[in-house]
Amino acid sequence: MIVDNILDILRNILDVLLVWFLFYYILKNIKSNVKMTLIFKGVLIVIILKLLSYWLKLNTLGLILEYVIMYGPLAIIVIFQPEIRSVLEQLGRSQLLGRHKTLSVDEREKMVYEIINAVGYLRKSRIGGLIVIERDVSLLDYINKAKPLYADLSSELLISIFFPNNPLHDGAVIIQGNRISCAGAVFPTSNSISLNKRLGTRHRAALGIAEESDAISIVVSEETGRVSICVKGELFYNLSLDDARMMLIDELKPKQDVEVALEDDDYEEIN
């Protein structure tokens, strides 16, 4: 009898932990997708309005929201089918425990140094380029369809890949850890209406992968030589090399380092 009670307790604990992990895993991956984040916020707003209409006895609003809640899921599936499919694919590509080692401070600085050196040359020579750095969300699907390299990261190699007439110069380079995994990668382009219509396919592809994952995209314009970075679904256009360097260093910091820095800032404000 005691053993059965213990097993029931352990079963309930396991059940709660699995449900908590499932919600955490889904929300974590939704956070990495800008479009699904907007959908999630919209659903949350509808639920809050429904609760308010119930508490304040707003019958007309409550009736409308009932129909929204009843038929909303079907409408969301139909209207946002590409985004939902993207998130499901992203869940499949995500890594539970992380596949790549965490880079040391020296390795991160060397990585940024090599990338900025290459970007500086491309900028000066008006050579277009797209460099994508993988983070928590795996880009393996895109790597498998590109030309595998698995080479040590260096500015010379990046420059040679994007040099005009190189067969791979039109695609993107994907970096995993401190190594170049592939070249010639092709990404879905962004349909964001806020994106300047004068920006070409390279910028739209950079923003597209930044909307679908937590990757960092560095773009060099072939026409103007301007440097841009896409991260978290946003395009930061026409950055100086120093600004690009600082942004990369900040974005590549491990999460625990960022949390410690925030805690230190809060402590300083209190004192």
Instruction: Give the chain's domains with CATH numbers.
Output: 2-93 (no CATH), 105-256 (3.40.1700.10)
| pLDDT for res 261 | 47
Could you please report the per-residue DSSP string of 228-260?
A: EEEETTEEEEEE-HHHHHHHHHHHTS-HHHHHH
> What is residue 96's predicted lDDT score, i.e. its pLDDT?
41
Distance CA 34, CA 31 (A): 7
94-102 contacts: CB < 8 A, separation 24 or more?
A: 94/25, 94/29, 94/136, 94/137, 94/138, 95/136, 95/137, 95/138, 96/25, 98/136, 99/138, 100/134, 100/176, 100/177, 101/177, 102/254
Site of tokens 């991260």: 231
The tokens describing 31, both together, are 């956070």
Q: Quote the pLDDT of residue 154.
A: 94
pLDDT tens for 169-223 read 889 999 998 899 999 999 989 888 778 888 889 999 999 999 888 899 999 999 9
Tokens 């590509």 sit on residue: 93
Amino acid at the residue 154: S
Residues of the chain below pLDDT 50? 95-100, 258-262, 267, 271
- Say which residues have a Cβ less than 8 Å from residue 31's Cβ, sequence separation at least 6: 37
